[in-house]
Amino acid sequence: MKKRHPETEAIRNQTPRTGENEHSTPVFLTSSFVFDNAEDMRAAFAEENDHNIYSRFSNPTVDEFAHKVARMEGAEAGLATASGMAAVFGTFMAFLESGDHIVSSGSVFGSTHTILTRYMKRWKIDYSYFDINQPETIEGLIKPHTKMLYVETPSNPGLDIVDLEMLGQLARKHKLIFVVDNCFATPVLQRPLSLGADLVIHSATKWMDGQGRVVGGVIAGRKDLVREIYLFIRNTGPSMSPFNAWVLTKSLETLSLRMEKHCSNALALARALQENKHLISVKYPFLETHPHFSIAKKQMSGGGGIVCFELKGGIARGVKFLDALDMLSRTANLGDSRSIASHPSSTTHSKLSEAERLAVGITPGLIRISVGLEHIDDILEDIEQALEKSA
């Protein structure tokens, strides 16, 4: 198949046209598929042909979305799931078994943290966290029974960056499955497979949808590994719905354009807030003040759509800031066309102790802004007035 640019892959990869000769791919909203004869049906169940059987197993609309993401990531294969967490959990369970060990960044999404710390021990699967800001400590955590290396970069919500090429070399040295959560960057800004990753995971709910409409996840990577995850997903049920896949596959067509605007708005916002008297610090991967700026510039083509800043006044000030916002949305989602503000210490990470929050970069006054597509002047004006009111 001819290699094209990612934005072209997102637009031109479609399921074959039906007899109606439609230009835009239809949604195949069906639970099952029929066969011309008993032999075709037998062969499908024996996996001797690629005939669709049941939408929990495969569906043309779902397959189109997964294939688009795979092509954008430069992957051999792709697989869509019901949610981003289904993609994470499916990836863990397809390869880890009792007695295995996983090395993961401590800076991971809250639900990923819960799976590693609460549920994996039920199957006697052990984990070790590494400090993403001290990558030199990672190799010392690898044990004889370590099977997987897992990381998200940029991290959520601290926007920490780690050198993927270095991790890829480490994974190959120790024969580990190297998995990268690429949700914050998207395949438009970062392609971990080209830097040594074996598998890439996304919460398609975020930037890929881009308008806060549907929930979904997607995995891309080596064909043999994706096949193993597919068998787990097929048999346990967290498959993507055809309707959600249809929304997402159409959204991919504008992902490159949207990410360009998200990035330009985010960089402009970060620069404008750097000297604000109400802030202790501002963090954005493409700000020269970011501690991993050089790594971000090496492996990303843009800084992404998330900006974090530290308010003076801690948790109480963070709550007041959220209440003072006029335009920005207060919601737990991100990656939307509409700008979103959240205060992790009082909401998504409030159940962690202060020590646990600080260990992963969640300081009391940390605010995470998912920068939308509104005019940058309006985004900045709302944040600045909320900073004044919350003082």
Residues 236 and 313 in one domain: no
Asked if 65 contacts 79 with a C-beta cutoff of 8 angstroms, the reply is no
Do 242 and 139 lie in one domain? The reply is: yes
H helix count then E strand count, the chain: 14, 12
In a domain, 125, yes or no: yes
Q: How does strand 199-203 pair with strand 217-221? A: antiparallel
pLDDT digits (tens, 9 = 90+) for 162-200: 999 999 999 999 999 999 999 999 999 999 999 999 999
Residue whose tokens read 């509409």: 338
On whether both 68 and 175 belong to a single domain, the answer is yes
Task: Tell me what the mean pLDDT of segment 317-332 comes to.
Answer: 94
Question: Region 118-132: what's the mean pLDDT?
Answer: 95
Same domain? 116 vs 50: yes
The pLDDT value recorded for residue 107 is 87
In a domain, 60, yes or no: yes
Q: 3-state DSSP call for residue 281?
A: strand
Q: Which of 1-5, 153-157, 305-309 has the lowest mean pLDDT?
A: 1-5
Closest to 54 in 3D by CA, of 275, 292, 242, 201: 242
CATH code of the domain covering residue 320: 3.90.1150.10
Q: How open is the CA angle 95-97-102, to the nearest 5 degrees?
A: 70
Is 55's pLDDT higher than 70?
Answer: yes
Rounded CA separation 75/333 (Å): 27
Most confidently predicted of 62-66, 106-110, 350-354, 360-364: 62-66
Is the whole-model pTM more than 0.85?
yes
Closest CA to 182 of 257, 293, 70, 277: 70
Residue 226: burial class (beta carbons within 10 Å; 0-12, 13-18, 19+): buried
Same domain, 242 and 152: yes
Whether 359 has a pLDDT exceeding 80, the answer reads no
Beta-bridged to residue 103, according to DSSP, are 128, 149
Find, among 300, 264, 254, 250, the residue nearest to 372 by Cα: 264
The pLDDT assigned to 344 comes to: 85
Sheet with 101-105: strands ordered across: 77-81, 217-221, 199-203, 177-181, 146-152, 101-105, 126-130
Question: Mean of the per-residue pLDDT values for the chain?
Answer: 94
pLDDT: is 81 or 12 the higher one? 81
Cβ-based neighbour number of residue 314 at 10 Å = 15
Where residue 104 falls among pLDDT bands split at 50, 70, 90? very high
- Which CA distances in Å does 327 have to 261, 269, 306, 332? 19, 15, 17, 16
Least confident of 60-64, 76-80, 292-296, 315-319: 315-319
pLDDT for res 351: 67
Residue 326 tokens, joined: 């006029």
CB 103 within 8 A of CB 130: yes
Whether 1 is covered by a domain: the verdict is: no
Stretch 238-242: mean pLDDT: 97
190 within some domain: yes
Other beta carbons within 10 angstroms of residue 272's beta carbon come to 16
On whether both 235 and 103 belong to a single domain, the answer is yes
Reply yes or no on whether the pLDDT at 28 is more than 90.
Answer: yes
CATH assignment of the domain containing 168: 3.40.640.10
Domains in the chain, number? 2
Domain of residue 86: give its range. Answer: 6-254
pLDDT for 294 equals: 97
pLDDT of residue 350: 72
How confident is the model over 93-111, as a mean pLDDT? Answer: 94
Q: What is the pLDDT of residues 194-230, one digit of tens each?
A: 999 999 999 999 999 999 999 999 999 999 999 999 9
Q: What is the gyration radius of the CA atoms in the chain, in angstroms? A: 21
Instruction: Output the pLDDT for position 110.
Output: 83
Counting every residue written for the chain, the total comes to 391
